Chains A and B, each alone.
Chain A
Amino acid sequence: MTNSSTKLKVRDFNFYYGEFQALRGIDVEIPAHQITSIIGPSGCGKSTFLRAFNRMNDLIPTAHAEGQILMDGHDLYGIDVVDLRKRVGMVFQRPNPFPKTIYDNVAYGPRSHGLRDGAGLAEIVERSLRQAALWDEVKNDLDKSGLALSGGQQQRLCIARALAVEPEIILMDEPASALDPVATLKIEELIQTLKELYTIVIVTHNMQQAARASDYTTFFNMAENRAGYLVEHGPTKEIFTNPKEKLTEDYITGRFG
């Protein structure tokens, strides 16, 4: 599925935690129905940048943003934040299933948005769990606690939970960093199947993962004053085989970071 339209357009984006500037002058376009990975050394603001897309940063009291992020041409700050987060889902670094049954975990989002119809919910739960490649493992245990699953299963449950509200974009903040290699591979395969339906932005520490699993790669670095900035953005193949910037080459060959 090739679709070259732009889903998210970031224009001269600056981000501050109080006085501290965490991101500086970011300009980038995230293509729809593609997997875009964000790589870069620790502390360069990758997660901050990702959290700008669903305005999770709003929860931090001293934080403020400058510049613009457009989703399908509309400013993110012009959209009601609850509606925005319905359209832009997120999967966190550490699996965070709720202390509820597997069923209730997946049904949580749709219920929050007012869906009460039991049969409709059951359908959404099954479809979401199937999409997250978890259905076959849990179909007989839907009343089991989400916390009773293994780490990899928990993360797929969190993905299913995000899918259940039918977002347009899914943000993933190092979704496999707390998982073992087998579970990691499962998550990566899963992400590949999801891009037909969703635009995916994934922050990763793991460069092989970015090379394996993404279509586009954005490389962030940290300036002397520790503000993160964008070094290079392009198709993953080009970034990893023929980077334009020396810094990118140094990073992907492991010379720093």
Chain B
Amino acid sequence: MSGKELSTPIPEALMEGATARKGAGSGSLTRRKLSQAIAFGVFWLAGLLAVAALFWIVGYVLVEGFQVINVEFLTTRPQGGVSGEGGLSTTIVATLYLVVFTMVLATPIGVGAAIYLTEYAADASRRSKFLARLIMVARAGVEILAGVPSIIYGLFGFALFVVAMNTFTGGFSILSASLAGACMVLPVIIRTSEEALLAVPRSYREGSLALGATKWQTITQLVLPAALPGIVTGLILSVGRIVAETAIFWVTIGGSYRLPTSLKSAGRPMALHVYMLATETRAFDKAMGTAAILILTIVILNLGINLTSRYYSKQVMGRTQ
């Protein structure tokens, strides 16, 4: 039957259309090629400008910064005062504390929330109208929170963690700042994790369930490992934000340049130190030095997370060659 259809001649109207298109195509070929070349040029330029700006900024900070960076600068603590004497050792420690505790608080909650929203929320919504409303509100909340300026989290953290929960958090402290920071990065982690989980094909889940794996096994053994690279991207973005933020920590961690010894100690992360040096002291060169170390810290943290997750993924996914 299909053979019969094939042997029928192609209708003339169709043929005419084809020749007309062909004619138009060859006529304006040079013009089309030209517009393509121009478009390529424009995009190239845009890309080049973006990269150039990046290299200029980072390069400037590094070159300026490395003029004051030496072992002493790295190993002594800031001395305070308007002269901005001293190094930055304690600010590196405070930054690392802050990153670690914020991520420890935010990652399980954020990834957990994303798992709930992608894997369980649909079922729950169907079972109960109340839950459906709650989930809708939670989703909307995450969307809105992702766009809230960080100083708002700072004020919230100040009111709740620093003032109201003073006895538990120690007032201005690493703990207060980590809690506020966790609130700030939570929406980022939830959204990126949710997208990563949604990108895992349904066919994987079906395949796993069809083998008699439970839903929980499917999530932990298959879906999470498959979504890991995307989830890690969200974590890296979050680490970047924590390292870079000043305002939120200015009102929650205090700003003391002494070495933080416990979660309840106040401290001064690097970004805040840069801000303080640049605005309240004469030591602009040291602000640059601190900024350079700040950039290096971000690069090292990102590389570390990226390499670890890639190594893990390779172990799980196997060779592709």
Is A119 an interface residue, CB under 8 A from the partner?
A: no
CA distance A143 to B318 in the complex (A): 5
Q: Mark B192-217, 1 if CB is under 8 A from A, else 0.
A: 00000000010110111111111001
Q: Given the interface contacts A86-B212, A112-B217, does A56 sit within 8 Å of B319 by beta carbon?
A: no
Is A158 an interface residue, CB under 8 A from the partner?
A: yes
CB distance B212 to A99 under 8 Å? Answer: no
Q: Mark B296-321, 1 if CB is under 8 A from A, else 0.
A: 00000000000000000000111111
CB distance A100 to B318 under 8 Å? Answer: yes
CA distance A148 to B317 in the complex (A): 10
CB distance B126 to A148 under 8 Å? Answer: no
CB distance B210 to A98 under 8 Å? Answer: no
CB distance A165 to B206 under 8 Å? Answer: no
Complex interface: chain A residues within 8 A of B123 (CB)? 61
Which segment of A89-97, A187-195, A206-214 sits at the interface? A89-97
Min CB distance, A194 to chain B, in Å?
17
Closest to A91 in B: B210
CB distance B321 to A148 under 8 Å? Answer: yes
CB distance B211 to A161 under 8 Å? Answer: yes
Is A124 an interface residue, CB under 8 A from the partner?
A: no
CB distance B319 to A145 under 8 Å? Answer: yes
Q: Which of B1, B126, B213, B316 contacts A254 (CB 8 A)?
A: B1
Which segment of A101-109, A196-204, A219-227 sits at the interface? A101-109
Number of interface residues of B (CB under 8 A): 27
> Which of A90, A101, A112 has the most B CB atoms < 10 Å from its CB?
A112
CA distance A141 to B212 in the complex (A): 26
Complex interface: chain A residues within 8 A of B212 (CB)? 82-87, 109, 112-113, 165
CA distance A90 to B321 in the complex (A): 28
Q: Which of B1, B208, B209 contacts A98 (CB 8 A)?
A: B208
CA distance A122 to B209 in the complex (A): 22
CB distance B210 to A145 under 8 Å? Answer: no
CA distance A32 to B84 in the complex (A): 85
Min CB distance, A102 to chain B, in Å?
7
CB distance B122 to A59 under 8 Å? Answer: no
CA distance A143 to B320 in the complex (A): 9
Is B247 an interface residue, CB under 8 A from the partner?
A: no
Complex interface: chain B residues within 8 A of A82 (CB)? 212-214
CA distance A65 to B210 in the complex (A): 19
Complex interface: chain A residues within 8 A of B211 (CB)? 85-86, 89, 108-109, 112, 161-162, 165
CA distance A90 to B318 in the complex (A): 24
Is B222 an interface residue, CB under 8 A from the partner?
A: yes
Min CB distance, A95 to chain B, in Å?
9
Min CB distance, B204 to chain A, in Å?
6
In the complex, chain A residues 49-89 whose Cβ is within 8 Å of any chain B Cβ: 54, 56, 59, 61, 82-87, 89
CB distance A56 to B210 under 8 Å? Answer: yes
CA distance A56 to B211 in the complex (A): 11
Number of interface residues of A (CB under 8 A): 39
CB distance B318 to A85 under 8 Å? Answer: no
Complex interface: chain A residues within 8 A of B203 (CB)? 92, 94, 96
Is A147 an interface residue, CB under 8 A from the partner?
A: yes
Closest to A102 in B: B318
CB distance B321 to A100 under 8 Å? Answer: no
Is A144 an interface residue, CB under 8 A from the partner?
A: yes
CA distance A89 to B212 in the complex (A): 8
Complex interface: chain B residues within 8 A of A45 (CB)? none
CB distance B206 to A112 under 8 Å? Answer: no
CA distance A161 to B212 in the complex (A): 12
Is A146 an interface residue, CB under 8 A from the partner?
A: yes
CA distance A102 to B126 in the complex (A): 37
Complex interface: chain A residues within 8 A of B201 (CB)? 96
CA distance A211 to B225 in the complex (A): 42
Min CB distance, A48 to chain B, in Å?
14
Complex interface: chain A residues within 8 A of B319 (CB)? 101, 141, 143-145, 148
Min CB distance, A230 to chain B, in Å?
24
CB distance A108 to B320 under 8 Å? Answer: no
Q: Mark B45-63, 1 if CB is under 8 A from A, else 0.
A: 0000000000000000000
CB distance A112 to B318 under 8 Å? Answer: no
Complex interface: chain B residues within 8 A of A101 (CB)? 316-319
Closest to A58 in B: B209
Q: Which residues from chain A sit less than 8 Å from chain B, CB to CB? A: 54, 56, 59, 61, 82-87, 89-90, 92, 94, 96, 98-104, 108-109, 111-113, 141, 143-148, 158, 161-162, 165, 254
Q: Which residues from chain B sit less than 8 Å from chain A, CB to CB? A: 1, 122-123, 126, 201, 203-204, 206-214, 217, 221-222, 225-226, 316-321
6 A-B pairs in the complex with CB atoms less than 8 angstroms apart: A85-B212, A92-B210, A112-B211, A112-B212, A144-B318, A162-B210
New A-B contacts (18) at CB < 8 Å, excluding given A61-B126, A100-B225: A83-B212, A84-B212, A85-B211, A86-B212, A87-B212, A89-B210, A96-B201, A98-B204, A101-B316, A108-B211, A109-B211, A112-B208, A112-B212, A145-B317, A148-B320, A148-B321, A158-B207, A165-B211
